[in-house]
């Protein structure tokens, strides 16, 4: 069923009785050309692009829980491509370009809203660093604008500009950045992939890997039986450690909990996404009116999808420092998701040392905005066995060879990225 | 979360600094593979996990804590020693 305003009007007149499920809840078949483990945004996007771009439709996505129940529904919905390093920027800009055409491509309203991402700076040194990052972005053909305090004041007069400790001197604006409805992105990819013949298999946990005599991976063992596959792709960020361990892989990744928060619904207040440059705090406003915000990871290895109180306090202190009026707002909900924290803060889209097994992992905080390009590049890798031109830096062996992509420059310390 | 410091007793986790996985031990030589393994590769278990915490706001001892990474239940905490076997 193709969605359109005409369809909506027709269904409304028929009292919405004829809507059909958005995708098929498939049962596993005996074998596929490609099995993708993980029905999050990245796995579903990869399946969709495998079918659409590469014409490979004998594809299954196996998901331990349900579609939209993992990190796809736990992030803070921000999309942006404001990176400084050459290994990152072309990739995230490719994601941004895909975001810009996503809804038409998927025929699904993902509520992509390019309302701008503003990174505040609070010192001369930070202004210089942001100017450098903005210039790097512009050299890659990406929009970036360095604003002074007056220009920021016009956009967001409610910020604490004259804070004694962290005065706001200006900001780096990416006007094309913004937000998207996170679980709608997942549902949209699931629906579009399913329509092209991809099997989406929920409540199907991978318990092991099928190996042939040479040791190559030729399928997965699951809670719903064995599924053979020509190739197996892992897109299970957050759970990459335990799943990869079933294949005997040790990876440069630790799992950590990241919390997010949403306030009660308010009238339109915040024009785009605003990030505090002197602490870790970022905030935007959902179309429903809630302020959506987050901060640092909890700091110690965790697989618990909930967070600790010291970080709640830290995030709220960051909010109060940059935007004191947030103190009048009541918190509605908070939750946690598990991040793959890689050793340089950047992701991995590559072959593994095991034949037939491919890896998409290590997304740290940045997985949501990467979703379309991650899927695109993972599909390219699975279909052609070569890295996509925007993802050539995301090699698994870069840690061994020293070609790290350390955007933040903190070294092999996952809880600091 | 509260951490049972063997010197100070049960204390709030915010008194401590998390160093990370206690398993990697710096290799003695300059073998590149061993150093790569030490620096970057982790078991990253969902379950029992041995890690190092520094009691910065307390007795300033380094602790080796055995914690469950799903439930956060702490089984034991003892003083860390250099060269402590994994």
Share of chain A above pLDDT 70, in %: 100
Q: CA of A308: which chain B residue's CA is closest?
A: B1
Give the C-alpha distances (Å, rounded to integers) separating A211 from A35, A289, A409.
14, 50, 39
pLDDT band at A411 (very low <50, low <70, confident <90, very high): confident
Quote the pLDDT of residue A353.
97
For the stretch A138-167, pLDDT in tens is 999 999 999 999 999 999 999 999 999 999
Residue A377 backbone class (left: φ over 0; alpha: ψ -120 to 50; beta: rest): alpha
User: Which residues share a beta bridge with B64?
Assistant: B52, B78
Q: State the smallest CA–CA distance between residue A343 and chain B in angstroms.
A: 6
3-class DSSP state of A340: strand
Q: Is the pLDDT of residue A39 over 90?
A: yes
Residue A412 has pLDDT above 60, yes or no: yes
**B86 at interface of A, judged by CB pairs closer than 8 A:** no
- Name the minimum distance, in Å, from the CA of B45 to any CA of chain A: 6
B40 close to A (CB below 8 A): yes
Read off the pLDDT band of A409 (50, 70, 90): confident
Q: pLDDT per residue over A72-124, tens digit each?
A: 999 999 999 999 999 999 999 999 999 999 999 999 999 999 999 999 999 99
Residue B83 has what pLDDT? 65
Q: How far is CA A72 from CA A45, A49, A187, A364, A366, in A?
A: 12, 18, 10, 13, 12
pLDDT greater than 90 at residue A413: no
Nearest 5°: the CA angle A246, A250, A251 is 120
State the best of B20, B44, B56, B69 to mutate against chain A, taking most chain A CBs within 10 Å.
B44
Which pLDDT tens digit goes with each residue over A248-275? Answer: 999 999 999 999 999 999 999 999 999 9
Question: How far apart are the CA of A204 and the nearest CA of chain B, in angstroms?
Answer: 19
Size of interface A-B (CB pairs under 8 A): 69
Distances (CA, A) of A344 to A35, A105, A356, A367: 28, 33, 26, 15
pLDDT tens, A282-318? 999 999 999 999 999 999 999 998 899 999 999 999 9
- Position B76 scores a pLDDT of 96
* pLDDT for A365 beyond 90: no
Q: How far is CA A367 from CA A99, A293, A337, in A?
A: 14, 16, 12
pLDDT band at B86 (very low <50, low <70, confident <90, very high): very low
Percent of chain A with pLDDT over 90: 96
Q: Residue A375: its pLDDT value, please?
A: 98
CA distance A67 to A182: 12
What integer pLDDT is reported at residue A303 of this predicted model?
96
User: Residue A129: beta bridge partners?
Assistant: none
pLDDT at B82: 75
CA–CA distance, A360 with A396 (Å, rounded to integer): 10
């Amino acid at each position: 069923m193709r969605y359109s305003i005409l369809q909506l009007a027709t269904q409304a007149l028929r009292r919405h009785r004829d809507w059909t499920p958005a995708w098929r809840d498939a049962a596993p078949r005996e074998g596929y050309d490609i099995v993708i483990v993980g029905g999050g945004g990245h796995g579903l996007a990869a399946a969709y692009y495998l079918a659409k771009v590469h014409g490979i439709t004998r594809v299954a996505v196996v998901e331990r829980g349900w579609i939209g129940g993992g990190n796809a529904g736990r992030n803070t919905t921000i999309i942006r491509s404001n990176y400084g390093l050459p290994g990152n920027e072309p990739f995230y800009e490719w994601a941004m370009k895909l975001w810009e055409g996503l809804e038409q491509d998927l025929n699904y309203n993902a509520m992509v809203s390019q309302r701008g991402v503003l990174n505040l700076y609070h010192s001369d040194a930070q202004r210089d660093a942001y100017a450098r990052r903005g210039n790097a972005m512009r050299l890659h053909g990406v929009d970036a604008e360095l604003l002074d305090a007056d220009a920021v004041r016009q956009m967001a007069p409610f910020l604490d500009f004259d804070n004694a400790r962290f005065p706001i001197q200006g900001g780096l604006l990416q006007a094309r950045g913004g937000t998207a409805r996170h679980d709608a992105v997942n549902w949209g990819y699931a629906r579009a992939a399913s329509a092209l013949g991809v099997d989406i298999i929920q409540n199907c946990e991978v318990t092991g890997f099928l190996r042939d005599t040479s040791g190559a991976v030729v399928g997965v063992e699951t809670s719903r039986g064995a599924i053979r596959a020509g190739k197996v792709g892992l897109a299970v960020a957050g759970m990459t450690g335990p799943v990869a361990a079933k294949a005997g892989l040790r990876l440069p990744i630790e799992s950590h909990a990241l919390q997010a928060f949403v306030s009660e619904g308010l009238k339109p207040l915040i024009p785009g996404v605003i990030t505090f440059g002197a602490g870790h705090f970022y905030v935007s406003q959902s179309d429903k009116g809630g302020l959506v915000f987050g901060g640092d990871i909890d700091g110690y290895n965790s697989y618990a999808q909930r967070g600790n109180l010291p970080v709640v306090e830290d995030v709220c202190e960051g909010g109060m420092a940059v935007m004191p009026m947030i103190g009048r707002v009541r918190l509605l909900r908070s939750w946690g998701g598990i991040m793959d924290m890689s050793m340089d803060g950047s992701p991995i889209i590559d072959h593994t040392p095991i034949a037939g097994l491919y890896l998409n992992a290590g997304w740290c905080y940045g997985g949501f905005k990467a979703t379309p390009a991650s899927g695109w590049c993972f599909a390219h890798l699975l279909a052609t066995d070569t890295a996509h031109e925007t993802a050539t830096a995301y090699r698994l062996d870069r840690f061994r060879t020293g070609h790290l992509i350390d955007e933040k420059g903190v070294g092999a310390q996952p809880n600091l990225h | 979360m509260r951490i049972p410091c063997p010197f100070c007793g049960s204390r709030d986790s915010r008194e401590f600094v998390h160093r990370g996985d206690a398993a990697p031990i710096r290799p003695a030589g300059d073998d590149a593979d061993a150093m790569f393994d030490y620096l970057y590769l982790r078991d990253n278990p969902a379950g029992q996990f041995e890690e190092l915490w520094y009691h910065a706001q307390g007795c300033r001892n380094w602790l080796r804590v055995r914690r469950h990474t799903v439930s956060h239940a702490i089984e034991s905490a003892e003083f860390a020693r250099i060269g402590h076997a994994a």
